[in-house]
Structure 1
Amino acid sequence: MASTTLDTGVTSATPGGKTFLGHPRGLATLFMSEMWERFSYYGMRALLVLYMTASVADGGLAMKTAVAAAVYSVYTAMVYLLALPGGWIADRFLGARKTVAVGGTIIMIGHFLLAVPFSASFFVGLAFIAVGSGLLKANISTMVGHLYDGPNDPRRDGGFTVFYMGINLGAFAAPLVIGTVGQSVSWHLGFALAGVGMALGLGQFLLGTRHLSPKSNVVTSPITPDEKRKIFTKAGIWLAIAAVFYGVVAATGHFTINWAIWPLSIAGLAIPVLVFTKVKRDKDLDANEQSKMSGYIWFFVAAAVFWMIYDQSGSTLNIFADEHTASTLFGLNFPSSWFQSLNPLYIMALAPVFAWIWVALARRSKNPSTTMKFAFGLLMIGASFIVMMLAMASASGDTKVTPLWLAMVYLVQTVGELTLSPVGLSVTTKLAPTKYASQMMGVWFLAVTAGDCVAAIFQLVLGDKIVGGTAYFAVQGVMAILAGVALAMYRKKVVKLMGDVH
């Protein structure tokens, strides 16, 4: 999901002084900070499953493929789930600027914990990175919006485009650098390099904060002492219950990684259900808003199916690259983690093309509806796993297939992403009830959480014999294609629920 940014529409006057590519100078600070943060995240992600599945002799954790894939899925799910409290902490406690600084610090610590050669510090490090990413992800792109003078500032869209390029530059470079060092020299040195990348991003942010908008320091809805007391009391009680429960499980010798994966996976599915139940039962919403929310649920479920497959690029596809794909192309030898650079490369190449296509079609009144764009995205993500099925079938025995198989898979997935992800952000803002306007962008991220949690449950239930096999890819591919066909077939019903939104 490298291409996704969050713009809440909060604005302030543009700071004066020098500019960055014609934009407020603060954009350079946010561009570089996010580029280095994404460098650290995608570099670590390129190594994560490979390290967990590597043998002890090769310096890894020797985890089973299905369990490692499930750990990865739950980890990515938590990154997006924690964006919700990350935004809330900025709004109620710290403001966006301080929250990003705290988040960056926690991420940096997490990466360096991964660099310590102990399994306990590895999992603690993952927790740190997830928490820090939630704090940072929810707020840094909001701060880009703060730099501009209202939503109608002509530079605003261009500013987010520049910021978006920073995300993908970091994501592209990370596997080439961190992946190479991690696979060729030392896993832990690779994780340490990710920590250095985050340290550079954090340093850039702290040095450049004077160029950011004063709005980024504002706590928009300060929490009252009474609210704070109630929240901390409830949080303390739940933490105490969890600590006692897991303490007993560990003391009796029953604790395994499944005791963490299963509760988090179930929570990742339950929370979106609870959120939608709350919104649908809200009597403050009129009939039109309720209808739009019913329509939005279709898009949410479709997005969850999409991300369930798409986010396996760092897990099952990464394992396929390492175990079943030749590491030589046109005479060039390269580590398998380099495949993780294909998606951001494709995005940078194709995003301007898709933007031009939508504008050109709109001028001719032939621009596909949001529903059809989502359906096409599902068809593409499903088709990518059908290609994976064929690639896996070709890799029978000890045969290693050509890298062009994975190059094709990532290309098809990127086309699907560009038809679904940006459109999903847009339709979320359009269908959101006024009362939940700010919160709904966080709800959109919950689709990623839900999809990744479904993937984790599949991986745990199916086990090593099936996960990553031909049938595994085939079933999910067919499921996504059927979901796309169903959405296309019921598009008139969805359009009717959307009311005046098209």
Structure 2
Amino acid sequence: MASSLTKDSVHPGTPGTEKTFFGHPRGLATLFMTEMWERFSYYGMRALLPLYLVAPGGLHLTAGTATAIYSVYLSLVYLLTLPGGWVADRLLGPRKTVTVAGLIIMLGHLCLALPAAASFYVGLVLVAVGSGLLKANISTMVGHLYNGPKDARRDGGFTLFYIGINLGAFVAPLVIGTIGENVNWHFGFALAALGMALGLAQYLLGGRHLSEQSAVVPTPMTAQEKATTLRKGLIWLAIAVVFYGLVGFTGHFTLNWALIPLTLIGLIVPILVISRILRDKDLDGEERSKVRAYIWFFVAAAVFWMIYDQGGSTLSLFADASAKNTIFGWNFPVSWYQSVNPVMIMALAPVFAWLWLWLNRSGREPSTIVKFSSGLVLVGASFFLFLAPLSIAQDGHKAAAMWLVGIYFFQTVGELTLSPVGLSVTTKMAPKKYASQMMGVWFLAVTAGDSITALLSNPAIGGVNLDKMGFVALESVLAVLAGVAVWMYRGKVNKLMGDVR
């Protein structure tokens, strides 16, 4: 694929080879394909997860518990991007870290393929760990391909990278979802393991096109630091083993002993991490100012993902119970809804990439703040639209599939104005000392949003099914108000951002 889409470079000094991928460094093709296969495995499993959790042939849990597990799993995936960035910064470098991540993810999907509840939860943890190691670092490696933050192609490159993500995400529910729902749940999970194996092979074969910077360990640990870190890690591990061993031995262990602590960690860790970075005396005044500005984008993104990620849980479970899942009279698997957003991304992402460059040339490109505000308003509008099928279902009828397609459309346009731009602005505003770890901080916004969802839906602490009209309306209003607030304070944020736009 890469060879057929490349041509002579117009920027011979760009890291990589003299070939380009749609006018971008050829290494983008390697990362594009690697991420495509990894996302095939991840989104295929994710499309099955909430359905398997509630299915009589699966774990047969309640919708509230399934939503809580799904949300905690997603929050854990993104929470672990922070230590994933740390591993790259201090131990292995981004390139080796991604290789290790691929192996762990593949093993996790193989555990999910085993027909036992214990191995299923182990598999979820392994996939989360591997995804955390991979996500922050592969995005950072995309940033390494460009000539600094001011390279005009940077936003467009991240948008093209997003196409790779969504190509895998589009195909996955159609293949893995169909096999999982119609043949066997665990066969579907096994296909996800195969997808990760293909992604890892592509990455190793195409590694020669990547920037040499991606193999560098930015701030390697000393032998003493390694020993201290290992000792602290073993102490915390021993505490956890003893505590949960006692809980289990006394017969008090329930699923919520795992879910609730992870939910709280997902809310507390982002605050602690950002506070620690701001207190770092190694940062100069300009770097610290940019981190303060970044907090605005972080909070906005957390609100966005809180609503957006319910497309795989709240909306999916609603479709399973209360929607007409038919096209021209033909029934399709519920997991296919998860292909709607990716196919829209692939159709619209090139348009947005071209639009940003065209507006940039004429000096009219919207600022990052305006793009973020638009994303929040659009995701709020998607849940306002959700009120219509909810009303239909309350009357005892099945809602048409096109209502859900419309919701995903609004969310997709909002995602394109916020997510790829957020990845790019993170690499621009990151202090040098925290190059990979700041990408982990960006993903912590997803952790915070999903942790709130998990907290609200957990039946053990008074949570409810989130497909209630009053709650959906409240979320919609919250997102719109957050978008307006960010826009109103754009002057203050722009001043803190310095030369980053």
| TM-score calculated relative to the size of structure 1 | 0.89
CA deviations 1:35-62 (Å, max 9, x no partner) are 111100000000000000112xxx1101
Deviation of the 1:444 alpha carbon: 1.3
**Aligned match of 1:174:** 172
**Aligned match of 1:385:** 383
- Unaligned 5+ segments in structure 2 are 1-12
**Aligned match of 2:276:** 278
**Aligned match of 1:488:** 487
The 5 Å alignment of 1:246-325 reads 246-325=244-323
**Identity over aligned pairs, percent:** 64
Deviation of the 1:496 alpha carbon: 4.0
**Aligned match of 2:31:** 30
The counterpart of 1:115, out of the listed 97, 113, 116, is 113
Deviation of the 1:366 alpha carbon: 4.4
Q: Secondary structure at the match of 2:324?
A: coil
Change beyond 3 A, Cα 1:25–1:415: closer
Distance in 1, matches of 2:388 and 2:328, equals 22
**Aligned match of 1:5:** none
Deviation of the 1:270 alpha carbon: 1.1
Moved more, 240-249 or 364-373: 364-373
| TM-score calculated relative to the size of structure 2 | 0.89
The counterpart of 1:195, out of the listed 193, 196, 200, is 193
Residue 352 (structure 2) pairs with residue 354 (structure 1) = yes
**Aligned match of 1:7:** none
Distance in 2, matches of 1:403 and 1:126, equals 30
8 Å CA contact 1:14–1:148 kept in 2: the answer is: no
**Aligned match of 2:5:** none
Change beyond 3 A, Cα 1:293–1:28: closer
Distance in 2, matches of 1:351 and 1:13, equals 24
**Aligned match of 2:473:** 474
- Aligned-residue Cα RMSD (Å) equals 2.8
Deviation of the 1:96 alpha carbon: 2.8
Residue 340 (structure 2) pairs with residue 342 (structure 1) = yes
The 5 Å alignment of 1:186-225 reads 186-209=184-207, 212=210, 215-225=213-223
Q: Secondary structure at the match of 1:60?
A: coil
CA deviations 1:397-416 (Å, max 9, x no partner) are 54211111011000000111
Q: Secondary structure at the match of 1:453?
A: helix
Distance in 2, matches of 1:94 and 1:204, equals 20
8 Å CA contact 2:155–2:421 kept in 1: the answer is: no
8 Å CA contact 1:14–1:149 kept in 2: the answer is: no
CA deviations 1:102-133 (Å, max 9, x no partner) are 21111111111111111111100000000111
The 5 Å alignment of 1:81-100 reads 81-100=79-98
Distance in 1, matches of 2:211 and 2:435, equals 22
8 Å CA contact 1:15–1:147 kept in 2: the answer is: no
**Aligned match of 1:52:** 53
Residue 107 (structure 2) pairs with residue 106 (structure 1) = no
Q: Secondary structure at the match of 1:221?
A: coil
Change beyond 3 A, Cα 1:96–1:494: closer
Distance in 1, matches of 2:226 and 2:490, equals 45
Change beyond 3 A, Cα 1:52–1:156: same
Change beyond 3 A, Cα 1:420–1:25: closer
CA deviations 1:73-108 (Å, max 9, x no partner) are 111111111112112222332333332222111111
Distance in 1, matches of 2:278 and 2:47, equals 39
Distance in 1, matches of 2:467 and 2:155, equals 40
8 Å CA contact 1:15–1:213 kept in 2: the answer is: no
Distance in 1, matches of 2:75 and 2:106, equals 20
Distance in 1, matches of 2:479 and 2:312, equals 19
Deviation of the 1:179 alpha carbon: 0.7
**Aligned match of 1:242:** 240
**Aligned match of 2:3:** none
8 Å CA contact 1:53–1:60 kept in 2: the answer is: yes
**Aligned match of 1:8:** none
8 Å CA contact 1:24–1:147 kept in 2: the answer is: yes
Moved more, 472-481 or 444-453: 472-481
